[in-house]
Structure 1
Amino acid sequence: MPITTLRPITTLRLHDFDAVLVRLPAPLADRVQRLRACATRAYGCTCCRVARRALRLCFEAQETGRGRLAEDLLAEAEYYVAIGTHQASCPQLPPPPRKRVDTSLSQGEVKRWANHSGPLVAATDASWKRGTGGLGYVVSDGRWGMRGWRPGNQDPTGKRKVLISELRAVSLVLERVGDGRTLLLVDSLSALRFLWAWQRGDVSCMPEGYDLRPRRYGPPTLVRLAERVSTWPSLRMEHVKAHSGHPLNETADSLASMARRRTDGELVPAGRAEGLVETFLRAWHDDQSHADQSHTPRHNGQGHTAQSRDRQGDNALAA
């Protein structure tokens, strides 16, 4: 289609636009390409209709050898697009800026139980919804943490994102606790099967699809976690039933959900996490005090223990 027959107001068909584009000098073509949506799709936008008129005259000037005029007309079209008031749905408008994703690690400590004398008990959990993950943990001495994350275009996680999120939450707490004499409560049996396998020395066992290539910061998270667990034979890892009212598990679950929602842009008050941790920890310590007074076993995990885990079998890793 000859340039001179292009209508001044209506949008151009894509192949017509491309046919014009290949006949323009490279510097001019690069600038025209940035107005592609204005020229071919922004039919209802008055601002872009004015710009298209200047663009059409630019094409005609270039075809008749008036290069300087063509540049001036293109500059006019660019001006209208830049300063004009576009229709709200105009495709030429730049996409709205993405909300800042807060994936930072938030950690704190409730000082009230910092000097608690009993064995450390920690609980972890993960939350995953619509492409956004959250990790949470709490320790009986008052330490807690949460982190949100959103996979990028080259996500190394693989298909089992929920499982890997559970394991990342474990890595998060063990990096902070740094003590192999901890009782770790996890509500995911799939995650526990990998943790038990690693503790037995099978550190090569990894979730299907997990990318083992080194990251910018060093070995992948699960590789580091496997190595750490394999060197801590005294670390006890037990199953706790999810959403059963266990105070530590409920705390970790709430922190993970909070981290995920924060990553999705929801405003989470700064003091909400610590207040939540303090409330649940008080309930857990009260339970322990009552158990001590009545000489009944403490309510830690009461799920799958070290004695029952070997009966799961190595084949369970494929579950």
Structure 2
Amino acid sequence: MTITAAADGSALGNPGPAGWAWYVDDAHWAAGGWKHATNNQGELKAVLELFRATAHLDDDLLVLCDSQYVINTVTKWMRSWKAKGWRKSDGKPVMNLEIIKELDEAMAGRNYRFEWVRGHAGHPLNEAADARARAVSEAFQAGRPIPHGPGWPREGGATDAAEPGTTPAPVGALDDAVAADSELALFSLDDPDLHEVTLWLTDDEHIRLHERARQEGVSAEALLRSLI
């Protein structure tokens, strides 16, 4: 089976308030962004988060992009840049290197194909991704809540998206929360009963949590319990 998804970015002013989004259907999409970034960063981030959101699936991935920059980065340039120590042929450093390195890691071992589609030409998936990326950039510009989307729902109803209508927390927010004052502990150790706690994570935080759990050879739940 092949998952077909569109990935797009938006930046008002370029650079300026920026958004990214990937879209498969109304039940499977996600978006996010920054107060200040470029359109290329949004385009790359959309693809990165698409690969992260589908990392638990065995399906092939067909990525639709209207950005030749993204497609060339992935299919033509990235391997050569990596071989040259992440330098271009003229010796200059690669732009947007942090996102590109993360994308290189996220794509490792995956079966995927990229296809260029013309932007703003009525392609339904591309238009859906573009609208959601732009909605995020406009939300940052206006100071409104960020529309994150449902992400990719998993077993038991969990998703890869942050709580709808909230602003993405910094990447280190999970670590900051764990290090918070002990008076804000999630559980009372004096109470023998179990308590259910819902923790909303951004896409970045979710990936970091599961990566750390894999490194320690435990489940994500066990890792969180070990921090209490």
Q: Against the structure 1 CA distance between its residues 269 and 173, is the aligned structure 2 distance closer, same or farther, given a 3 Å change threshold?
A: closer
1:223 to 101, 112, 116: 101
Q: Report the Cα distance in structure 2 between the residues aligned to 1:145 and 1:210, rounded to whole angstroms.
A: 25
1:150 counterpart (26, 35, 39): 35
CA RMSD of aligned residues (A): 3.1
What is the deviation of 1:245? 0.9
Return closer, same or farther for 1:265/1:193 CA change in 2, 3 Å cut-off: same
Instruction: Give the letter for the 2:104 counterpart.
Output: A
Are residues 1:121 and 2:4 paired? yes
SS of residue matched to 2:50: helix
Q: 1:192 aligns with which of 35, 50, 71?
A: 71
1:181 maps to 2:60 = yes
Pair 1:258-2:135 in alignment: yes
Q: Say which SS state the counterpart of residue 145 (structure 1) adopts.
A: strand
Deviations 1:111-166 (A, max 9, x none): xxxxxxx5211111000113111111112483111112024xxxxx7xxx322221
- Letter of the structure 2 residue corresponding to residue 243 of structure 1: H
Q: For residues 109 and 72 of structure 2, what CA distance do their matches in structure 1 show?
A: 17
For residue 224 of structure 1, report the CA deviation from its aligned partner. Answer: 1.3
TM-score normalised over the length of structure 2: 0.52
Distance 1:246 1:266 in 2: 30
Structure 1 residues 150 and 209, CA gap change in structure 2 (3 angstroms):
farther
TM-aligned CA deviation for residue 188 of structure 1: 0.4
CA contact (8 A) 1:185 1:249 kept: yes
Identify which of 134, 138, 152 aligns with 2:23: 138
Q: 1:141 to 1:211 in 2, by over 3 A?
A: closer
Q: Residues 187-223 of structure 1: CA distance to partner in whole angstroms, max 9, x if unpaired? A: 10111000113675753367966365xxxxxxx2221
* Structure 2 unaligned regions, length at least 5: 151-228
Q: How is 1:84-99 mapped onto 2 (pairs within 5 angstroms)?
A: none
Structure 1 vs Structure 2: percent identity of aligned residues?
Answer: 26
Matching residue of 1:247:
124
Distance 1:129 1:168 in 2: 16
Give the 3 Å change call, closer, same or farther, for CA 211–245 of structure 1 in structure 2: closer
Structure richer in strand, relative to its length? 2
1:261 & 1:268 partners in 2: Cα distance? 10
Partner letter of residue 128 of structure 1? Answer: A
Structure showing the higher helix proportion among its residues: 1
Cα deviation code 1:15-50 (max 9, x no counterpart): xxxxxxxxxxxxxxxxxxxxxxxxxxxxxxxxxxxx
Distance in 2 separating the partners of 1:186 and 1:259: 18
C-alpha contact 1:200 1:230 (8 A) present in aligned 2: no
Provide the secondary structure at the position in 1 that maps to 2:60.
coil
Q: Do the aligned residues in 1 keep the contact of 2:10 with 2:39 (CA within 8 Å)?
A: yes
Q: CA deviation at 1:226?
A: 1.7
Contact map agreement 1:138 1:251 (CA 8 A) in 2: yes
SS of equivalent residue, structure 1 residue 132: strand
